[in-house]
Structure 1
Amino acid sequence: MKRVAVLNVGGDCPGLNAVIRALIVKGAEEDIEVVGVYDGFLGLVEDKLTILAKEHVSGKLPEGGIILGSSKYDPTVNPNDLKKLKNNFERYQITSLILLTGHTGANIALKLANEGIPSIIIPATVDNDLYWTDLSVGFLTALQIVTDALDKLHSTASAGHRVIVVETGGDEAGWLATIGGMAGGADYIIVPEFKLDPKDMIENIKRRYSAGRRFSIVVVEEKVKLPEEVQNIIGDPKVRQYMKPAELITEYIKANLQNVECRTVDLDYLQRGGTPSSFDRYLAFKFGVSAIDAVKKGKSNVALGLDGFDVVEKPFTHEILKNKEISRELYEMGRLFF
């Protein structure tokens, strides 16, 4: 009997329990045992594993998070931990690791492959920034959360005639901010891929107020690099270094539009939680089944991805660490509505 060990490396996202469910069900059909590892690679080092059965995921399909927990822990940093991981991998006679992850786990997977520890990656991140796949598990649910938040913020922004600056996730890619901003009717979108023109943003808000639309929703991606003009709105660099991009944008707007009330809303971990959407569950099932199929065929060290509606396999190379950025065409489509 073959045996796989499943673990979540990096941040959690909606749909992870659905992946585990698919692994268990398909594994039972193919006589492949599924072992759950608690708290990412830390659990594999500290011997925190359990054999998974259907009862472990019964009723968990609509739940966010993950029954196994997660962490960003990298076992390759400490030689002693790497040795413990290798020992447990052999001790439990694991055929392959199944990593539910984004760039964090992909980076570790490459290093472990060189150490003789095989794995299969299932793309799972709200950021949707993995270049080898059209969609990642969790992204569409997070996208809906961003859209719903903007829908709700419109009413209070309009009622109070205020500007609300909303910070989304995305790591270093603008997928959540751009598509969520478009779907939620944002009046300005700021992403890492394209440099912000602060004066254009201010003029955009002024035009709206002059036209009688006395409110604005500005969406900012969490890791956007802001121009010095915006950063220097906070003179003390010690204070500035702890401020998020949305907070700096808010202060800049306040300084340049004295008669306009401006507030900041950080969606932060809200985007990671909640009930996974129907399509994220479908993706979870599709990737889980495909991972077991790959193990059955003796495949390893591949990253599973979605090409249209088909699952494809990307062999491990350093290319899987590349960042999938939004295109100019997509961003310009968003600008049509500014």
Structure 2
Amino acid sequence: MKRIGVLTSGGDSPGMNAAVRAVVREAIYQEIEVYGIYHGYTGLIEGQIEKMELGSVGDIIHRGGTMLYSARCEEFKTHEGQMKGVEQLKKFGIEGLVVIGGDGSYRGAQKLTEHGFPTITLPGTIDNDIPGTDFTIGFDTALNTAIDAIDKIRDTATSHERTYIIEVMGRNAGDIALWSGLAGGAESILIPEEAYKIEEINERLLRGHERGKKHSIIVVAEGVGSGVDIAKQIENTTEFETRVTVLGHIQRGGSPTAFDRVLASRLGAKAVQLLMSGEAGKAVGIQKNSIVSHDINEVLELPHRIDNDMYQLSQELSI
């Protein structure tokens, strides 16, 4: 393999730049030409492709977002759109592709592999919802952003003796909520993987109030529902003054943590090595601190699972 491409797709995540850097520099180290594809699959279809050099990825390892930009592409979900992408790759003489993104990006890569084009995927999403890897690129940074917000909100919750609901991102996965809630000492954590009863939350708040507790923090994953609606239910029953903070896209920005930079670097280099060895249709990840790869078809068929032991621990510690 003499020439490969790299693109980022879907929602951005801190550490994507570190992954792009690793792909580019590992490829050049292995004497392989590497081309950056801008604006995800949209840019692939439109031929927004440029050759990258060592200097192209200088001073980006510490930056959030993605220098290749990102976009969602409905056209690439069609056979015609996929074939346009393949034709562009052939036009530029690209023989293999590294795709960095979430499950939607993985499905695009799966289609390219089915069309006979070697593609390797890296898990770039803050949601940590990709099977086959313990952590996704960007999750640790988003987690620390959420924890920092929880700590600051607890200060004002203490000062005003209020209940605060903090709504975090994660789509249909509760990892950010669970990890940040446990680390932030939340009194309740609501995640889509576990059913909850508003009555139990209210009872916990009332028990705390009876023993002299003046404030509480409740972390809600966006996949559960609206934090505003939950706050209204709590106020109606307990009459506790309740405020809501929706962290939103602040969780997707910012300089990546050391963990995310190292993870992205390890995964990016592995992707290039897999393409060199003739592999295709593989999803790279990390499990038990070892870099692994799985068949992308298997990864896409597996459901996302929460750490049940961690969830149980959060329940036990929030009594």
Q: Distance in 2 between matches of 1:109 and 1:24?
A: 19
**Aligned-pair CA distance for 1:264:** 1.0
Q: What SS does the corresponding residue of 1:311 show, helix, strand or coil?
A: strand
Q: CA RMSD in A?
A: 1.5
The superposition leaves residues 119-158 of structure 1 with CA deviations (integer Å, 9 ceiling, x where unpaired) of: 1001111111111011111111111111111111100111
> In the alignment, what sits opposite 1:70?
70
> In the alignment, what sits opposite 1:28?
28
Percent of aligned pairs with the same amino acid: 32
Q: Any runs of at least 4 consecutive aligned residues in structure 1 with deviations exceeding 4 A, and if so which?
A: none
2:86 is equivalent to residue 86 of structure 1: yes
Q: TM-score, normalised by structure 2?
A: 0.95
2:136 is equivalent to residue 136 of structure 1: yes
Residues 10 and 102 of structure 1 are in contact (CA less than 8 Å); yes or no, is this contact kept in structure 2? yes
Of stretches 46-55 and 212-221 in structure 1, the one that deviates more from structure 2 is 46-55
Aligned residues: 318
Q: What SS does the corresponding residue of 1:274 show, helix, strand or coil?
A: coil
Q: Distance in 1 between matches of 2:78 and 2:313?
A: 47
> In the alignment, what sits opposite 1:194?
194
Decide which of 305, 311, 318 is 1:325's aligned counterpart.
305
Q: Distance in 2 between matches of 1:40 and 1:60?
A: 18
Q: Distance in 1 between matches of 2:298 and 2:288?
A: 23
Residues 138 and 256 of structure 2 are in contact (CA less than 8 Å); yes or no, is this contact kept in structure 1? yes
Q: Which amino acid aligns with 2:227?
A: A
Give the gaps of 5 or more residues in structure 2.
none
> In the alignment, what sits opposite 1:274?
254
Q: Distance in 1 between matches of 2:307 and 2:80?
A: 43
Residues 76 and 111 of structure 1 are in contact (CA less than 8 Å); yes or no, is this contact kept in structure 2? no
The 3 A distance-change label for structure 1 pair 75 and 314 is: farther
2:142 is equivalent to residue 161 of structure 1: no
Q: Which amino acid aligns with 1:208?
A: G
Q: Which amino acid aligns with 1:288?
A: G
> In the alignment, what sits opposite 2:205?
205
**Aligned-pair CA distance for 1:315:** 1.4
2:237 is equivalent to residue 256 of structure 1: yes
Give the gaps of 5 or more residues in structure 1.
225-243
Q: Which amino acid aligns with 2:311?
A: Y
**Aligned-pair CA distance for 1:257:** 2.1
> In the alignment, what sits opposite 1:175?
175
Residues 45 and 88 of structure 2 are in contact (CA less than 8 Å); yes or no, is this contact kept in structure 1? yes
Q: Which amino acid aligns with 2:246?
A: D
**Aligned-pair CA distance for 1:318:** 4.6
Q: Distance in 2 between matches of 1:222 and 1:321?
A: 23
The superposition leaves residues 226-258 of structure 1 with CA deviations (integer Å, 9 ceiling, x where unpaired) of: xxxxxxxxxxxxxxxxxx521211111121122
Q: TM-score, normalised by structure 1?
A: 0.90
**Aligned-pair CA distance for 1:75:** 3.8
